[in-house]
Amino acid sequence: MIATLVMLNICHWAADFTHLSTPWMLKAKQTGKPLFPIFIHATIHAALFFNVIFILHNIEKALLAAIIELSTHFLIDVLKGRMNVWCPTVKSPENTYHWWIFGTDQLLHQLVIIGIAYMVCT
């Protein structure tokens, strides 16, 4: 289970904080639209998760994990972007609530990762 958690967190980091997140995707994530770049971003997450779980477990678990990661990552990122539109002051890192929203976003992603790891390891 630890290996799965570590690998999924590496996937999450790589897809969110490296060149795999392009300016096109990041711009869409700021407002929660257009949806297509956010969908592609979530698909990259799902593909990385699929590969790790396929290698560590099996194809059935990998497919289920990819579907869960794709749908949840897409939804979380769209909602975070929409928060920036509904409450524009939270876009500024100087606003305390900016960090609450960022932290909540990352917490939700981590809970999904933990849930997926638990699902594939039991």
Q: Where are the domains of the chain?
A: 2-121
Query: Looking only at Cα atoms, what is the longest distance across the chain?
Result: 45
Please tell me the total number of residues recorded for the chain in this structure: 122
pTM attached to this predicted model: 0.94
Instruction: Tell me the two tokens of residue 71.
Output: 């749908």
Over residues 61-81, the mean pLDDT reads 98
Single-letter amino acid code for the residue at 43: T
> For residue 26, is it left (φ>0), alpha (ψ between -120 and 50) or beta?
alpha
Determine the pLDDT at residue 115. Answer: 98
Over residues 31-37, the mean pLDDT reads 97
